[in-house]
Amino acid sequence: MMVRGLAALLVLLYGFTIASPCVNGQGAAEAGQSTLPSAPAGTRVEAKPSTQSNSSQNPSSSLPVHIEPTAVYRRPTEREKLRNFAFDAFGPYPVFGALFVAGIQQGYQTPPEWGEGSGAYARRFGSDFGVELITTSTRYVLAEAFREDTLYYRCACSGFFPRFGHALLSTVTARHGEDGRYRFSLAAIGAPYAGTFAATLGWYPSRYEPMDGFRMGNYNLVGAAGENLALEFIYGGPHTLLGRVRILKGRAAGADNP
């Protein structure tokens, strides 16, 4: 039921965010202008001197017009991908996530064959961290195979609900092409199930079957959505440093430029 509710919420938020200037450019561009994708989370913003001139104004009195920071997308380098993989695989989110899930499993004794006590908790933590590691590794491998950019980019919008919707949609989407447009991602959708299938068929008790891996993969996908929410609202990690963002001078996207 939780997974079905998440899927319905993703559909509703998809329609909502299309109508808002958040995803895929954070604002519609006028004819003849290109739509710019959202900025990487936490990226440094620098002011760029305006190149426009107005003969009716004193150039020294011309001030930058404050608009929403927007970045021209560029694909991350292999070095940046490696750095982001290290954060996604061994950073605070997978570690604390595994600690949290292991605590829940310890309380419910899941699986019961692993028993109780500190040794059982350590085994559950290792299992959950292994699921996360395989999930992250699979996502990066599939992203390379399908030429997808599955790094998380914060929404260059404002407001809780647009940012919330962006984080949830990013769970099942990735950037494609040189312009970085968001599309549904096979890597993002398939990776959570790779980790749980590896666990149920690898080191879980033999009574676990592939359907158990699929069921656990649904929860793993929900956990990925929760991690994206943390990246959006709490801490974005190294992928906030993928490039410099320069403030575009002029009026906000969709308005007439002088």
Query: What is the rounded CA–CA span in Å between residue 82 and residue 86?
Result: 6
Bridge-partner residues for 175, per DSSP? 149, 182
Bridge-partner residues for 183, per DSSP? 174
Rounded to 10 deg, the angle between the 186-202 and 210-233 helix axes is: 130
Contact between 211 and 187 (Cβ < 8 Å): no
User: Letter for the amino acid at 72?
Assistant: V
Encoding tokens for residue 258?
Answer: 């002088």
Q: Is residue 110 part of a domain?
A: yes
Domain hosting residue 190, numbered range: 78-175+184-240
Q: What is the pLDDT of residue 26?
A: 34
Q: Is residue 249 part of a domain?
A: no
Query: What is the rounded CA–CA span in Å between residue 62 and residue 73?
Result: 28
User: Letter for the amino acid at 170?
Assistant: S
Q: Is residue 100 part of a domain?
A: yes
Q: What is the pLDDT of residue 71?
A: 59
User: What string of pLDDT tens digits covers the 258 residues of the chain?
Assistant: 444 454 444 444 444 433 333 333 333 333 333 333 444 443 333 333 334 434 344 443 333 332 233 457 888 999 999 999 999 999 989 999 999 999 999 999 999 999 999 999 999 999 999 999 999 999 999 999 999 999 998 888 888 999 999 999 999 999 998 889 999 999 999 999 999 999 999 999 999 999 999 999 999 999 999 999 988 888 765 544 333 332 222 223 333 333
Could you tell me the pTM of the whole model?
0.66
In degrees, rounded to 5, the angle at the alpha carbon of residue 213 between the alpha carbons of residues 196 and 138 is: 35
Encoding tokens for residue 177?
Answer: 């092409």
Q: Is residue 42 part of a domain?
A: no
Rounded to 10 deg, the angle between the 2-19 and 210-233 helix axes is: 40
Query: What is the rounded CA–CA span in Å between residue 26 and residue 234?
Result: 20
Q: Is residue 147 part of a domain?
A: yes
Number of domains in the chain: 1
